[in-house]
């Protein structure tokens, strides 16, 4: 007879510790390389580590007893600084690899103005990041986390079995995600039923994104929050959970592509002090086409998540973690 193996992590506190330790270590691993500005990938990894550390600290906060430097505000400030630098790297990468090769020679030459401006901007932001990684708030965060990991302190709730409280941890995040107004962009109500407006031409999509792009960007951030939260507990759920997590990731990525394209357009407009259709007509068309394709990818997911059965099924999945005998 084969005995079922028991998970080594069992309580809410155990999961909190595991998550904080993992993401703190990841953050520290890349710190030296980021300070030296050696590799864009190091910056990306450190930013992700810091963001996930923030998720772990805030979402498990009700079970933790941590000192003041380990706060959402402090971690958020550092993560945003790293994010500002990473955003510039993504912008450069996108221009160089996705767009420049497809432009006529004249527009490729014009882009040099953008690359020069980007290099200057990056220099300033890098200086800010390096300063942040040397200042007292970052040092005190590291020191406080190292001390806590060495001698963790918890609230009483940390002793509760993880399966017992897991749905209560995840369902508020799911509600925020599903009730976000971004789901209603490009829809209309017909007799109290939401209908997606389809077969829009690129011009119509552009107009919609100009007025409501920020709402979709906000939904993207909500998708990221629930994704990070769900990824902490993949071992406690089955295939249905994994499938929803994959879809949430797709939603985040598709809306992210739309947002990145809009940010690039705005940034170029600022650099050239004019509409990019004038300076870079081919690039402007490519960006419009990019947003059009992203919209086509977005709508099937939007339609699926506006259906009551999808939402109910997602809730039921969260409500039923894999059962397991909790041992002392």
* Helix H or strand E encompassing 280: none
Domain end residue (candidates: 160, 193, 208): 160
Distance (Å, rounded) from C-alpha 298 to C-alpha 108? 31
Domain end residue (candidates: 127, 160, 193): 160
Place of tokens 């992210």: 256
Q: Are residues 37 and 109 in the same domain?
A: yes
Q: Are residues 155 and 171 in the same domain?
A: no
Q: Are residues 49 and 169 in the same domain?
A: no
Q: Are residues 17 and 147 in the same domain?
A: yes
Say what the pLDDT of residue 278 is.
87
Q: Are residues 221 and 99 in the same domain?
A: no
- How would you label 225-255 residue by residue, b for 16+ Cβ within 10 Å and e otherwise? bbbbbbebbeebbeeebeebbebbeebbbbb
Q: Are residues 136 and 198 in the same domain?
A: no
pTM for this entry: 0.90
Walk along the chain (328 residues) and give the pLDDT tens digit of each residue. Answer: 444 455 455 899 999 999 999 999 999 999 999 999 989 999 999 999 999 999 999 999 999 999 999 999 999 999 999 999 999 999 999 999 999 999 999 999 999 999 999 999 999 999 999 999 999 999 999 999 999 999 999 999 999 999 999 999 999 999 999 999 999 999 999 888 899 999 999 999 999 999 999 999 999 999 999 999 999 999 999 999 999 999 999 999 999 999 999 999 999 999 988 888 888 999 999 999 999 999 999 999 999 999 999 999 999 999 999 875 343 3
322, burial (CB in 10 Å: exposed 0-12, middle 13-18, buried 19+) = exposed
Q: Are residues 66 and 122 in the same domain?
A: yes
Total tally of structural domains belonging to the chain: 2
Q: Are residues 97 and 169 in the same domain?
A: no
Q: Are residues 25 and 147 in the same domain?
A: yes
3-state secondary structure of 273: coil
Domain end residue (candidates: 115, 133, 160): 160
Q: What domain range is 149 assigned to? A: 1-160
Q: Which tokens hold the place of 189?
A: 């109500």
Q: Are residues 176 and 312 in the same domain?
A: yes
Q: Are residues 129 and 225 in the same domain?
A: no
């Amino acid at each position: 007879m084969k005995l079922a193996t028991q998970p080594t992590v069992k309580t809410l506190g155990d999961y909190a510790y595991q998550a904080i330790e993992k993401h703190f270590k990841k953050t520290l691993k890349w710190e030296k390389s980021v300070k030296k500005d050696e590799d864009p990938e190091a910056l990306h990894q450190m930013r992700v580590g810091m963001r996930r550390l923030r998720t772990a600290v805030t979402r498990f906060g009700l079970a933790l007893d941590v000192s003041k430097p380990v706060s959402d505000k402090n971690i958020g400030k550092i993560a945003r600084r790293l994010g500002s630098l990473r955003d510039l790297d993504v912008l450069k990468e996108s221009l160089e690899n996705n767009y420049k090769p497809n432009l006529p020679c004249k527009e490729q030459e014009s882009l040099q103005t953008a690359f020069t401006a980007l290099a200057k901007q990056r220099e300033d932001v890098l200086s800010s990041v390096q300063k942040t990684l040397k200042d007292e708030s970052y040092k005190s965060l590291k020191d406080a986390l190292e001390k806590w990991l060495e001698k963790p302190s918890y609230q009483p709730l940390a002793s509760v079995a993880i399966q017992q409280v897991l749905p209560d941890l995840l369902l508020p995040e799911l509600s925020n995600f599903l009730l976000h107004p971004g789901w209603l962009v490009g829809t209309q109500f017909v007799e109290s039923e939401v209908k997606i407006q389809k077969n829009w031409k690129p011009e119509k999509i552009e107009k919609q994104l100009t007025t409501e792009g920020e709402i979709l960007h906000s939904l993207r951030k909500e998708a990221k929050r629930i994704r990070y939260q769900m990824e902490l507990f993949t071992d406690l759920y089955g295939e249905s959970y994994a499938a929803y997590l994959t879809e949430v990731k797709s939603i985040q990525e598709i809306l992210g592509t739309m947002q990145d394209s809009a940010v690039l357009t705005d940034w170029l407009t600022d650099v050239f002090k004019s509409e990019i259709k004038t300076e870079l007509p081919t690039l402007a068309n490519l960006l419009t086409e990019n947003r059009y394709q992203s919209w086509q990818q977005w709508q099937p997911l939007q339609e699926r998540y506006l259906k009551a059965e999808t939402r109910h099924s997602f809730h039921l999945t969260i409500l039923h973690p894999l059962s397991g005998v909790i041992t002392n």
